[in-house]
Amino acid sequence: MSETHDVATARDRIAELRQQVAHHNRLYHELDAPELLDGDFDVLARELRALEAEFPELADDGSPTRDVGGIAGATFAPVTHAVPMTSLDNAMDGDELRAWADRVVKGLDGVVPRFVAELKIDGLAMSLRYESGILVRAATRGDGRVGEDVTGNVRTIDDVPERLTGDNVPNVVEVRGEVYMPTAVFEALNVESKAAGESPLVNPRNAAAGSLRQKDPAKTAKRRLSFWAYQVGQVVGGPDFFTHRQTLDFVGEIGFPINPEVRSIDTIEAVAEYCLFRQEHRHDLGYEIDGVVIKVDDLAQQAMLGFTSRAPRWAIAYKFPPEQRTTLLRAIQVSVGRTGRTTPFAILEPVFVGGSTVSMATLHNQDQVAIKDVRPGDTVIVRKAGDVIPEVVGPVLEKRPKGTEPWQFPTTCPCSLGSLLVRPEGEANTRCVEPACPFQRDQKIMYWASRGAMDIEGLGERTVVQFTAAELVRDVADIYLLTAEQVEPLEGFARPSAEKLVAAIQESKDRPLPRVLTALGIKHLGPSASQALAAEFGTLRRVMEATDGERSAVEGVGAVISATVSQWFEQPSNRGLIDRLGAAGVNFGSEQEAAARQAAKAAIEQTLEGKAVVVTGAIPGYNREEAENAVTSRGGKSPGSVSKKTFALVVGEGAGASKLTKAEANGIPIVPADRFSDLLATGQIPE
């Protein structure tokens, strides 16, 4: 394969391939006289793209790979789906499945439909757009309306044809389906990553998602992803279809793999039976599934049933229950969080459950361990709660070794200070209340750097522990004083990686004020309350100096949060930290802007006092933030979604279909974008 090329041979091969691909493209498109089968053409195009990706220095704007979206397009630009990619409602058991079928029959005025049952592939939904039979765009689902352009990466998937086959190819067709990683590929890649000393891929679904997010399609190509098609989006031209099954057959004819397990089934009882059968045999396939998708086959019936605000009424996902496995509980340990809260967790003999290998599982708190009475040495049942977080369900008592005693919660912190743990009256949590606890300190720094807070790339648990162990860092303010010279000698670093991390840390100083507030890790103060405080006060100083009453009056803050914020700022050590963060140059918000905003606010008539106005789509003269500010500066709220309490939905071009549907369903007034200014001025729904 391409990895064996050196630059000189790659240059020659690339030149040859470019010439061939361009030649066959011309034969196909311009002369309508192809000499190659489509599959053979794909092999050439794929080899060329892989080589160009591997040798970026040989890139050339004249390459035929650039003509149809090409590998340059892998920067994940937003793509608005021509037809939204809705999700599915779930049925968690047979009864919920039957209840759905009853609703369907009712919606069809008593007619019992035929169903199509498909496997629910555990991968990533993808929309592949073909124009004149050529793949022009591959987009992820995103929020259903706008996804990400991952064309360059998807082109490396063998199952995805570059060109459609057959006589009746539509002018435009969006083929939808699931990109997934076959289990065998997943296992093989994990053998490789283990040999290379890299951390393993968690599960096939995550691995597929990560592969599609690669900046370099050559890396995606190595992940050997696959694709099953199961739906179409926009279709212009081509044959007429009357059933979903016909659609699938056609999608198969134009070149896509259709899962062979698709079944047409006449009764819901037989569907339920099929679901149970699949559940029992879910691991007999070469890929992961997490349920069965059932669709009404007749397209006219689908149209009659239509959509709710979030999903089609004509389809349902029967979800398999979480999987359980038994394994040996080796030990119980306690971790200490940033607020000193302790969490007991189980160290397990590694076991594969719910699509990934589990070697640790939470036991939540002291009472939970006591109630479950799990003891080291027990064989325990493990499952994925919500199919994500591993959890110990309980012991298998028949297998308990003789002579074990109930596990005792420790009385001291596992850190080097070994301070006493306390459990306040009426609380479920046992805490370490020692301010100097090194575990809490490390956790605070990790939280500061985490995604939802200051989002510092490269500053994870391992690095934080290295910094504090080397006494380079005592608290978050210290990270801003780090130099590449100090970081470089640490294990796993070299000069470039040290410089990169220091730069990422420095860059985080400019994060917006709500993130800084969140990152402080004040109890109860999460991202949305931080946002509300920042919007109201504008600077950290003003948040700090505000009275309890002023803070708790802010929508979304309230007395509890305000009180913990006060307590936090009253601590001299925290004030010291704020001073040092300020001195390091962390953004605390601009005093000038805050003052100007307050003055402007005082001057603006509060026409929308207490009213929630949701804005969707483009509003001429405003960007999204400005439109929301226009509402909030008039005393209104501007939430992101429509509810029964919404006063008005302002709709501009490219509006979200789900918001519109929901507003219509709830009788919420809809205001066109060009009447937004009237709404702002009067606080009334314009006529």
Q: Comparing C-alpha atoms, which of 124, 116, 120, 101 is closest to residue 320?
A: 120
| Residues 2, 391: Cα–Cα separation, whole Å | 44
Tokens read off for 65: 């790979």
Q: Edge-to-edge strand order for the sheet containing 124-131?
A: 134-140, 124-131, 172-180, 226-236
Site pattern 234..273 for ligand IVH (x: CB under 6 A): ----------------------------------------
The least distance separating ligand IVH from the CB of residue 210, rounded to whole angstroms, comes to 16
Select 230 or 647, whichever has its Cβ closest to ligand IVH: 230
Q: Which of residues 82-111 bind ligand IVH (CB under 6 A)?
A: 86-88
* Residue showing tokens 């016909």: 246
Q: How many residues bind ligand IVH (CB under 6 A)?
A: 15
321: tokens are: 């229950």
How many Å apart are CA 384 and CA 392, to the nearest integer? 9
How many angstroms separate the CA atoms of 105 and 125, rounded? 28
Interface with ligand IVH, residue 121, by CB under 6 A: yes
Site for ligand IVH in 178-207 (CB under 6 A): 178
**Minimum distance from CB of 194 to ligand IVH (Å)?**
29
Closer of 44 and 88 to ligand IVH (Cβ): 88
Q: Which two tokens stand for residue 570?
A: 């009253």
Return the number of the residue (226 or 327) whose C-beta is nearest ligand IVH: 226
- Does position 294 interact with ligand IVH (CB under 6 A)? The reply is no
Q: Identify which of residues 121 and 614 has a Cβ nearer to ligand IVH in the complex.
A: 121
CA-to-CA distance for 340 and 306, rounded, in angstroms?
A: 51
Stretch of 80-88, 415-423, 550-558, 587-595 contacting ligand IVH, by CB under 6 A: 80-88
Applying CB under 6 A, among 312, 418, 672, 686 the residue interacting with ligand IVH is 312
Structure tokens at 48: 């060329």
Q: Which residue is nearest to ligand IVH (CB)?
A: 125
Distances from the Cα of 403 to the Cαs of 393, 400, 406, in angstroms?
22, 9, 10
- Strand pairing report for 356-362 and 342-353: antiparallel
What size, in residues, is the chain?
Answer: 687
- Cα distance between residue 334 and residue 210, in whole Å: 31
Minimum separation from the CB atom of position 383 to ligand IVH (A): 21
Minimum CB–partner distance for residue 256 and ligand IVH (Å): 13
Given 45, 316, 317, 374, the residue binding ligand IVH (CB under 6 A): 317
Q: Is 297 in the site for ligand IVH (CB under 6 A)?
A: no
Residue 141 or 431: which CB sits closer to ligand IVH? 141
Q: Which of 41, 115, 130, 230 binds ligand IVH (CB under 6 A)?
A: 230
141 is a contact residue toward ligand IVH (CB under 6 A): yes
- Residues taking part in catalysis: 120
Which residue number, 293 or 517, has a Cβ lying nearer to ligand IVH?
293
Q: In 585-685, which ranges are continuous DSSP H helix?
A: 591-603, 624-632, 657-666, 676-682
Q: What are the distances in angstroms from CA 381 to CA 258, 372, 400, 401?
A: 37, 11, 12, 16
Residue 118 contacts ligand IVH per CB under 6 A: yes
Q: Give the footprint of ligand IVH on this chain (CB under 6 A).
A: 86-88, 118, 120-121, 125, 141, 178, 230-231, 293, 312, 315, 317
